């Protein structure tokens, strides 16, 4: 008899190994860039520091720059799948919040890397722009998923743009690409607010050092959103 459980377990192990390799490469890239500057760090140096070959590097990243930006499209895919599969009784806001909370369970183990990554991006504006472009693209994909959850007809996934080593083109004057299908305001706003909230939560948590946990920060940020951003009362 075919052992489905063993196959699923093996697949999970393979995926975890791949994720560990990607993480090792990203962390090596960020650590080296924090010392030498991203422009002075080669793929060979990153690969050597992570204990893999340069050929393996390109199994995980389309370009040299992506390792510093820590672009991982599989994260967005998992979040969108979780939103689609969330219980029907959850609001779209709750589905997005829970999907992000689940995906960010490991953030607390990487406080140093997140802080170093912020420093690296600030020192290299082209990397910052590249990261912003990637996050805008992921944000729009999340908005499409939210729209589908709310009853809009599904929009076929578009193929990723081929990597040219350059930062993604900025949006047009209306804030969307020329081929962007129309979405209602709420899905776009929820996706944008949620992704911004995650960024703010991570930045605030990093700045607080060890005085606050990331889960607590995440809950506070999304609590403010759930309360409609009502001004907090002054203590005492």
By residue range, what is the domain housing residue 4?
A: 1-67
- CA 154, 156, 157, 163 torsion: positive or negative? negative
pLDDT for 174 equals: 54
Which CATH number covers residue 54?
Answer: 1.10.10.60
Predicted TM-score (pTM) of the model is: 0.71
Residues 199 and 98 in one domain: yes
Residue 182: its pLDDT value, please? 77
Question: What tens digit of pLDDT does each residue of 52-75 get?
Answer: 999 999 999 888 898 888 767 788
Continuous segment of H or E residues that includes residue 101? helix 92-103
**Among 109-113, 142-146, 165-169, where is mean pLDDT lowest?**
165-169
Domain end call among 45, 67, 89: 67
Q: How far apart (Å, rounded) are the C-alpha atoms in residues 66 and 43? A: 11
Q: What is the pLDDT of residues 90-123, one digit of tens each?
A: 999 999 999 999 888 777 777 778 778 888 888 8
Residues 161, 90 within the same domain: yes
Contact 74, 66 (CB under 8 A): no
């Amino acid at each position: 008899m075919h052992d489905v459980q063993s196959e699923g377990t093996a697949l999970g192990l393979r995926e975890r190994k791949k994720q560990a390799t990607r993480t090792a490469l990203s962390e090596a890239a960020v650590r080296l860039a924090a010392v030498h500057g991203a422009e002075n760090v080669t793929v060979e140096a990153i690969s050597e520091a992570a204990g893999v070959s340069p050929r393996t590097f390109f199994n995980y990243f389309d370009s040299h720059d992506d390792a510093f930006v820590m672009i991982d499209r599989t994260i967005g895919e998992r979040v969108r799948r979780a939103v689609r599969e969330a219980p029907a009784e959850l609001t779209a806001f709750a589905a997005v919040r829970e999907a992000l909370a689940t995906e960010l369970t490991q953030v607390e183990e990487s406080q140093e890397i997140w802080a170093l990554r912020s420093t690296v991006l600030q020192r290299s504006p082209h990397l910052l722009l590249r990261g912003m472009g990637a996050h805008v693209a992921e944000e729009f994909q999340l908005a499409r998923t939210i729209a589908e959850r709310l009853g809009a007809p599904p929009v076929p996934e578009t193929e990723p743009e081929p990597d040219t080593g350059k930062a993604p083109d900025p949006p047009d004057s209306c804030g969307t690409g020329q081929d962007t299908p129309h979405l209602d305001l709420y899905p776009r706003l929820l996706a944008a607010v949620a992704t911004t909230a995650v960024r703010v939560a991570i930045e605030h948590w990093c700045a607080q050092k060890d005085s606050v946990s990331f889960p607590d920060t995440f809950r506070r940020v999304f609590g403010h959103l759930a309360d409609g951003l009502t001004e907090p009362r002054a203590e005492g």
